[in-house]
Amino acid sequence: MLSNRLSKERSPYLLQHAKNPVDWYPWGQEAFARARTEQKPIFLSIGYSTCHWCHVMEHESFEDPSIAALLNRDFIPVKVDREERPDIDRVYMTFVQATTGAGGWPMSVFLTPDLQPFFGGTYFPPTARWGRPGFTELLSQLASLWEKTPEKVRANAAGIVEQLKDATSSAPNRAPVAGLSAVTEGIEEYIKAYDRRNGGFGGAPKFPRPSELGFLLDAWAVTRRHEARQMVVDTLRAMALGGMHDHLGGGFHRYSVDAEWRVPHFEKMLYDQSQLVLAYLGAAQASGEPFYATVAEDTLDYVLYELSAPDGAFLSAEDADSVIPGGTEKREGAFYVFTATEIDALFGADAPIVRRRLGIEDRGNAPSDPHGEFVGQNIPYVAQSVEEIATRTGRSPQDVLQVLAVMRQRMFEARATRPKPHLDDKVLTAWNGMMIAAFARAGRVLVDSPRRHDWRRAAVRAAESVQRLLWRDQPPRLLRRYRDGEAAVDAFCEDYACLTWGLLELFQTTSDVRWLEWAITLTARQSELFWDESDGGWFTTTGLDPTVLLRLKEDYDGAEPSAASVTVRNLLHLAHLTGEGHYADRAQRSLERFGPALGRVARVMPFMLSNVAAWHGRSSQIVIVGPAGAERLALEAEAARVYLPFAVHITVEPGAAQAALASRLPWIAAMPMAAGRPTAYVCQDFTCRAPVTDPRDLRRLIEDISAPRQVLS
């Protein structure tokens, strides 16, 4: 089969379409020039390589020669990978959401030769069904509309773009930063939406927006509202026990299609793993329950073994679909599900224990299966406790534990013989930044874990890889994507923000000043490229690419947090580390855009509201000075025991390492060891308490600085 132009691209998503009969172009001047020359509209298709419905539309429509002929005759077909080009995706998603009230991928948008949208939607079946118009009929209708009234279509499209510009621009706004009362107001918003039976917020489908969980933990840290913490730990427990958690290979699937966390959408995204690790680490600290740390470690293991490149960088995702064992057809979740017969064959007389533990049923266990994909199939979840299984099977608890001890490995090995899902192996800067943050924080928080140094090394290797592959010194320039020997696409605001986030976490874990220096450099460059001096916000793009019609600011904290929210937290940490006031000034100006009403939109901007909690929280520094060893480890363990989201943590070796760090942070120089023993300094606003060497004394100091602030209006 002949290939089209996409065969020369690096994007896994574009390469998936390289053998379509559609005459695809990548986004670029070649396609735009042809559209202008031939005066044809552009059909823009946006998706990503692990998108289930993107695969469906490709198979149904883009592989169909008759549909391809219509596209090739009447349109200029263009493909975009939304993960490589979120700037293009955001512009046309804004249009689709504004005109249809919904959005998603694949996104299908029809443009004038000047790139202005005039019709759009998401997935279209080849012929009308499920209440959706058929793609074939739609192509014919829009081609006819363009042929008969092109000027009217152009005028309408131009008017729509102007309306979108008006709707997405804002007059400069400056109001006082919201008080802590906005944080308590935000807690109430989540209480109203909370699913008390199943955990999570709202009904099906359930998305694990970690920014929401992070806000509630941060809100608990400054208010000690019991409900805030309880919603988090209960939700994370339900997710970890449900089918959205991969109980064999580790990690989490994208979301749950039902309200009980039982039936996942099976793709696995790097950005979910990173943020959920941070949430589980926070829950472990806030609750004192090791269960949550165990889930975090399990997820980190998954990323190390399945989403890591040989050079240490982190890869993007695994697909939901895979080939059915013994067949050729792909089906969602085929790699992950089991029949009862398979379980019986694997475990023999012990199968009843495994069946009860994982909810295995003869006819399948999916409570929600709208497309009939899981008939007779079982999605493993934790259905019964050891005690329940022992009672119902007549086996002793010790017998049950022995079976469960071998269950995971045996099922994992059986699953490994199946065709694996597609791996999207591109390296994205923003997603790597978040994963570096997760590994680095695990290396700091999981002090008692024998894997602690593995986590630290993984974070360092990834940061070094990103620096080598995606950073250019002269002039300073960050790139977004690396794959197959090619680094490309100028980085966006979220790339700078999320990488800085990871580096600040890595600096706190390693005390290596090079990561702090790079974070400072990235923040300065980010400000030059994306800061809006008049309005105090952060643009997602530089505005230098004329083919991107809207220069947007994104405040919504969705599956990924907004660049603006991440940046404000970075600025607060840099202010606490360096003592330089301009970081706090810019963070304050960013928060002033939203004013006191921010609590009412907690469900929209949870991370930004979390920054309000950080703004009013105690700016603390915990510094431990001493050589590696048992005494220092005891102090580190005490510092890691408590959830202190707004404190900065530094552990430094005395001597050359401390001197090097003091060249950037002069206040570190005045912190010697006391009586030759590892010593902890606890400071607030750069005023330090008397140094301590006993972990019990450190505990008392930390309890004092972590006391909640009075809720202010």
Amino acid at 616: H
CA–CA dist 91, 693 (Å, integer): 56
pLDDT digits 0-9 by tens, 631-644: 999 999 999 999 99
Amino acid at 32: F
CA–CA dist 365, 215 (Å, integer): 34
Work out the pLDDT band at 1, boundaries 50, 70, 90: low
Residues 6+ apart with CB under 8 A from 512: 460, 506
When pLDDT is averaged across residues 11-16 and rounded to a whole number, the result is 98
Task: Please write down the HEC assignment for all residues of 248-288.
Answer: CCCCECCEECCCCCCCEECCEEHHHHHHHHHHHHHHHHHHC
Task: Give the pLDDT confidence score for residue 535 in this predicted structure.
Answer: 87
Quote the percentage of the chain above a pLDDT of 90: 93
When pLDDT is averaged across residues 662-675 and rounded to a whole number, the result is 94
pLDDT digits 0-9 by tens, 391-401: 999 999 999 99
**Strand runs labelled E in 205-257:** 255-256
Nearest to 51 by CA among 120, 95, 108, 135: 108
Asked if residues 453 and 300 have their Cβ atoms less than 8 Å apart, the reply is no
Secondary structure tally for the chain: helices H, strands E: 26, 20
CA–CA dist 686, 395 (Å, integer): 60
When pLDDT is averaged across residues 567-585 and rounded to a whole number, the result is 95
pLDDT digits 0-9 by tens, 336-387: 999 999 999 999 999 999 999 999 999 999 998 877 889 999 999 999 999 9
Task: Give the pLDDT confidence score for residue 107 in this predicted structure.
Answer: 98
Lowest mean pLDDT among 77-91, 233-247, 436-450, 682-696: 682-696
Set out the domains of the chain in order of their start, with CATH numbers.
5-168 (3.40.30.10), 336-417 (no CATH), 620-705 (3.40.30.10)
**DSSP per-residue string spanning 580-638:** -HHHHHHHHHHHHTTGGGGGGGTTT-HHHHHHHHHHHS--EEEEEES-SSHHHHHHHHH
Q: Look up tokens 């989201």; give the residue.
A: 645
Sign of CA pseudo-dihedral 262, 266, 269, 273: positive
Q: Is the pLDDT of residue 481 over 50?
A: yes
Task: Give the pLDDT confidence score for residue 188 in this predicted structure.
Answer: 97
Q: Is the pLDDT of residue 712 over 50?
A: no
When pLDDT is averaged across residues 579-598 and rounded to a whole number, the result is 95
The DSSP bridge partners found for residue 107 are 46
Work out the pLDDT band at 709, boundaries 50, 70, 90: low
Q: Look up tokens 């980190």; give the residue.
A: 300
CA–CA dist 159, 103 (Å, integer): 21
Rg of the chain (C-alpha set):
26
When pLDDT is averaged across residues 658-677 and rounded to a whole number, the result is 94
CA–CA dist 335, 325 (Å, integer): 8
For the record, the structure tokens of 333 come out as 């979740």
SS3 content of the chain, % helix, strand, coil (to 5): 50, 15, 35
pLDDT digits 0-9 by tens, 303-347: 999 999 999 999 999 999 999 998 999 999 999 999 999 999 999
CA–CA dist 320, 6 (Å, integer): 23
**DSSP per-residue string spanning 388-425:** HHHHHHT--HHHHHHHHHHHHHHHHHHHTTSPPPPEE-
Asked if residues 117 and 160 have their Cβ atoms less than 8 Å apart, the reply is yes
Q: Is the pLDDT of residue 588 over 70?
A: yes
Task: Give the pLDDT confidence score for residue 263 in this predicted structure.
Answer: 96
pLDDT digits 0-9 by tens, 216-267: 999 999 999 999 999 999 999 999 999 999 999 999 999 999 999 999 999 9
When pLDDT is averaged across residues 278-297 and rounded to a whole number, the result is 98
Amino acid at 492: F
CA–CA dist 474, 657 (Å, integer): 28
